[in-house]
Amino acid sequence: MTSPAPASAPTQDELKAQVGRAALDYVVKGEIIGVGTGSTVNKFIEALAGIKDQIRGAVSSSEASTERLKALGIEVFDSNAVEELAVYIDGADEIDGRGYMIKGGGAALTREKIVAAQSRRFVCIADASKLVNTLGAFPLPVEVVPMAARRVMRQFARLGGLAQVREKDGAPLVTDNGQHIIDVTGLRITDPLGFEAEVNQWPGVVEVGVFAHQRASVCLLATSSGVRTMR
């Protein structure tokens, strides 16, 4: 007798879809919800389409997510039109056991932090590969005013970081806010709260991609054996 073939491990795409669906449990019915940016959030938006009649709409953290939400018939509100959001759902590039994150791989970090700041609860959705002990292996995104880019890059060099201007089609990438992104490698961020506060006061920095003051309240982590909840 032959035994059944072992089930193959879920792909990263399947894990993202799984955690995107799991986030529906955190959607507050009858409310406007905050929606982040990225491939994991795109899975969440697909799942959200199934319950779109149960929410009033969304505040979005990027033009890309806005387009997807509107295409599904979900109303998108300006963040200035909403005082407070019950929940913000977004992905991360790295998250540690305390809920501190690196974000901005999709260049939307500034709007993401704004929507996170106006939300009572930040639900991070990620696959297990994003969980780290110490932030910094993922190149840290920093949104900068273009004329300050070189100076900010030199400041990171003094901290041991190597910064590069992010490019798209051979030219500096321009964010939804009309600014540039630098990505910094070689950092080990042991004090995320202090680091975020320090870098954010450098002239020309619009926002640093460390989310410590706006850390995740809950993280849903997709693993090959199901979705794990970290609080």
CB of 136 to ligand 5RP, least distance (A): 15
* CB closer to ligand 5RP out of 64 and 145: 64
Q: Which residue has the tokens 């919800």?
A: 33
Residue 166 as a binder of ligand 5RP (CB under 6 A): the answer is no
206 phi-psi bin (left φ>0, alpha ψ -120 to 50, beta other): alpha
Q: Which residue has the tokens 């056991």?
A: 97
* CB closer to ligand 5RP out of 10 and 56: 10
The binding track of 38-77 with respect to ligand 5RP, each residue x by CB under 6 A or -, is: xxx-------------------------------------
Polymer length in residues for the chain: 231
Residue 91 as a binder of ligand 5RP (CB under 6 A): the answer is yes
CB of 3 to ligand 5RP, least distance (A): 36
Of the candidates 94, 112, 196, 207, the residue annotated as catalytic is 112
By rule CB under 6 A, what count of residues binds ligand 5RP?
Answer: 17
CB of 105 to ligand 5RP, least distance (A): 3
Active site residue 112: yes
Residue 109 as a binder of ligand 5RP (CB under 6 A): the answer is yes
CB of 73 to ligand 5RP, least distance (A): 23
- Subset of 14-43 contacting ligand 5RP (CB under 6 A): 36-40
CA distance linking residue 124 with residue 216, whole number of Å: 6
From the list 34, 106, 136, 161, which residue makes contact with ligand 5RP (rule: CB under 6 A)?
A: 106
**Catalytic residue numbers, as ranges:** 112
Q: Which residues bind ligand 5RP (CB under 6 A)?
A: 36-40, 90-93, 103-109, 112
